[in-house]
Amino acid sequence: MTRPVVIDTDPGCDDALALLLALERSELDLVGLTTSHGNTAVDATTTNARSILELTDRTDVPIAKGADRPLAVDLQTAEHIHGSDGIRGPLPEPTEATRPVDTHAATFIVEQARAHEGELTLAALAPLTNVALALALEPDLPELLDELVLMGGAAFSPGNVTQLAEANFHSDPHAAHRVVRDLDPTIVGLDVTKHATLPSEWVDSIPRDDPLGRSINEWLTYYSAEHLERYDIDSAPIHDALVIAALVDDVLETDPFYMEVGTDSDLAQGALVCDPNDVTGNEPNGTVAVDADYERYRDLFVETIDRFVAETIH
């Protein structure tokens, strides 16, 4: 039985690979994409998402364009990492077949949660603005969703934007604060995604004499040499793909915690704070991925992408 999934995304190189993984796995029924500001401005993330659907011949998947700015802080984007348009590599121009629906992403999330009551998985790979707005529109969203799985936060690891904060949570800390407080999420943060790398020899094996292969290769190698050295890794972590892999297979180990997200404008902005010693006495309001079966993740990822490339590149 397939699970219905909405992915909230801001493509983004690792988002692109996560979408490719989701689109190619028969276990998942992708009933829609919603787009947000994040790796670049929302107009560009929407164009990128449309192009990925064109590339994979999945123009049947509806797209809803969402928030163009955070709830209360200034917009920050990451073109310096993901490329001038928020993504690297050649992509097809979107056509009318992928024109966004005339519904805001937050409304679309609520509509899909009602249509698939108790069964919908919301996979949030972007700053959580759209999800927080959906919760404001529909306070019963926690009961309507089967689960919310999100890429964000750094529970017990250093951040990648500040010493404490991961990019998605830092980009819209007020949205992250509300979502973590009220939506019982499964948080797949830097604690585990920083290790979600792929074998360098496999990355090098992808044919680059074809536009598709060149795009996939550039998505897989979006980290600069400086970033690889900073984090002491051989290849770029594909953060968002670990979330999708977890929807397909049991690759995560999670623990429940009471959690909060800082909204201060300085060091605490976007910081995910867990209570492992129960000093607050509060019941857990979500779970955090604390470890992953990386070999299983890599096998699933490589098998899926290899199959897609073999079927698509002639």
Strands 3-9 and 120-124: parallel
CA distance 49 to 55: 10
Q: Collapsing DSSP states into helix, strand and coil, what is residue 145? A: strand
CA distance 314 to 299: 23
Contact 196, 294 (CB under 8 A): yes
Strands 272-274 and 259-261: antiparallel
CA distance 158 to 171: 16
The one catalytic residue in 37, 82, 104, 239 is: 239
Contact 236, 216 (CB under 8 A): no
Residue 253 CB partners (closer than 8 Å, separation 6+): 289, 290, 291, 292
Query: Residue 252 pairs with which residues in a beta bridge?
Result: 292
Helix (H) or strand (E) holding 16: helix 13-24
Phi, psi of 279 (to 5 degrees): -75, -25
Query: Any catalytic annotation for residue 239?
Result: yes
Q: Collapsing DSSP states into helix, strand and coil, what is residue 259? A: strand
Strands 286-292 and 252-257: antiparallel
Contact 118, 25 (CB under 8 A): no
CA distance 130 to 108: 10
Strands (E), 189-294: 252-257, 259-261, 272-274, 286-292
Strands 286-292 and 186-188: parallel
Which residues are marked as active site? 239
